Amino acid sequence: MFNKLNEWKENVEVYRDRIQSGEKKSGRWKKRWHKYSSKLYLFMFFLTVSGFVFFNYSRLFFKDDSPLLDSGIGEISKTKIGSSEAEIVSRKINNSTGYAEVLVHVEESSDQVHKEYVSFAGEVKKEKPIETKLIPISENYYLIQLHGVPKNWKTIGIDFGYNATQKAPTTVEQIEEQSQQKQTDRSQQTSFYWDVRKSKTDDDLKEKPRVKYLADVIVIEEKATRDKQKLLAKSTEKIDSEIVRIDEKVKQETEELIYKVGKEKEDSQTKIAQLEREKDKYIEAKSGIKKEEKLLDEKLEKLKERKEQSTTN
């Protein structure tokens, strides 16, 4: 019996030692927690602030993936303005000075109105107006000058259009038509957009005399005229190839015609007539191309004269 009591006593002492040992371990963990908890809270605070900065200002550090609002240059920028068609030929900006230029080509229609072109611009996101000046360079080219573009600009919106008034009538029909219409000014406009991600700064860009811009426009016109000449030359080559093909078919049908009778002969004659009509159309088209090529040669000569005149003035 005493042995049993001694065994229980030993078990109680062992259990007590375990409890006390656990309290000591718990105390050590509490001390460690107090030691490192402040650092952990500081780390969590830094992580929260870093996340906020990343999600709100990541586009300042990484590539901006917001939707692109940009009209582009050339054919992609072409748009209708009432009865006219406008296209951005070039655009440049000097971010250090806040000066920018946009060259616009306008294709006019033959309607009976006088058109006075105007332009306004502003920073889209900040809704901040930008000082704008419109300069007519030649009959179909206008230069939009922008002054004071913000250094941290994102998107520039450019409104371009015209105020129109009717021309004086030249026929009785026009007199009657205008007398029945209310004489009011008509305005038409379109908007072009310029995204900073589609722009490279030109540190050498600055205002030039109008004659310098005219020289630039002449170079653009010369290139466009030569490109059109090349296109017409390729078309002429294709037409010549088609005429050769038609002549070969006509020759083949004519040689076989003497061996045909009845309906087969009639069908062959009809086919030859169709081929001859097709050939006539190609010859007519080729004649039209020659006339156009002559006009383009004359245009290049006029551009050359105008360039020489502008450089001497």
Q: What is the pLDDT of residue 303?
A: 92
Structure confidence at residue 115 as a pLDDT band (50, 70, 90):
confident
Q: What is the pLDDT of residue 169?
A: 56
> DSSP labels for 80-128?
EETTEEEEEEEEEEETTTTEEEEEEEEE----SEEEEEEEEEEETTTTE
Q: What is the pLDDT of residue 228?
A: 96
pLDDT above 60 (res 171): no
- Helices 210-257 and 262-312 meet at what angle, rounded to 10? 160
Q: What is the pLDDT of residue 6?
A: 56
pLDDT above 90 (res 258): no
pLDDT above 50 (res 2): no
Q: Which of 26-40, 87-101, 261-275 has the lowest mean pLDDT?
A: 26-40
Q: What is the pLDDT of residue 297?
A: 96
Q: Which of 58-67, 127-136, 215-224, 252-261 has the lowest mean pLDDT?
A: 58-67
Contacts of 257 (CB under 8 A, 6+ apart): 265, 268, 269, 272
Q: What is the pLDDT of residue 48?
A: 61
Evaluated on CA atoms 248, 251, 254, 256, the torsion sign reads: negative
**Are the beta carbons of 102 and 144 closer than 8 angstroms?**
yes
User: pLDDT tens, 7-66?
Assistant: 655 654 555 555 455 544 455 555 555 555 565 556 565 556 554 444 444 444 444 556
Does 83 or 14 have the greater pLDDT score? Answer: 83
Evaluated on CA atoms 257, 260, 266, 271, the torsion sign reads: negative
> DSSP labels for the chain?
-HHHHHHHHHHHHHHHHHHHHHHHHHHHHHHHHHHHHHHHHHHHHHHHHHHHHHHHHHHHHS---SPP----SGGGG-EEETTEEEEEEEEEEETTTTEEEEEEEEE----SEEEEEEEEEEETTTTEEEEEEEEEEETTEEEEEEE---TT--EEEEEEEEEEEEPPP-SHHHHHHHHHS----EEEEEEEEEEGGG--B-TT-----HHHHHHHHHHHHHHHHHHHHHHHHHHHHHHHHHHHHHHHHHHHHHHHHTT--HHHHHHHHHHHHHHHHHHHHHHHHHHHHHHHHHHHHHHHHHHHHHHHHHHH-
pLDDT above 50 (res 310): yes
Structure confidence at residue 177 as a pLDDT band (50, 70, 90):
low
Mean pLDDT of the chain: 81
User: pLDDT tens, 69-82?
Assistant: 899 999 999 999 98
Domains of the chain and any CATH numbers: 74-207 (2.60.40.1640), 221-312 (1.10.287)
Q: What is the mean pLDDT of residues 214-225?
A: 94
Q: What is the pLDDT of residue 114?
A: 80
pTM of the model: 0.69
**Are the beta carbons of 93 and 144 closer than 8 angstroms?**
no
Q: What is the pLDDT of residue 179?
A: 55
Percent of the chain with pLDDT over 70: 71
Give the strand order in the sheet containing 141-147.
79-81, 84-94, 99-107, 141-147, 128-138, 113-123, 155-166, 186-195
Q: What is the mean pLDDT of residues 80-87?
A: 90
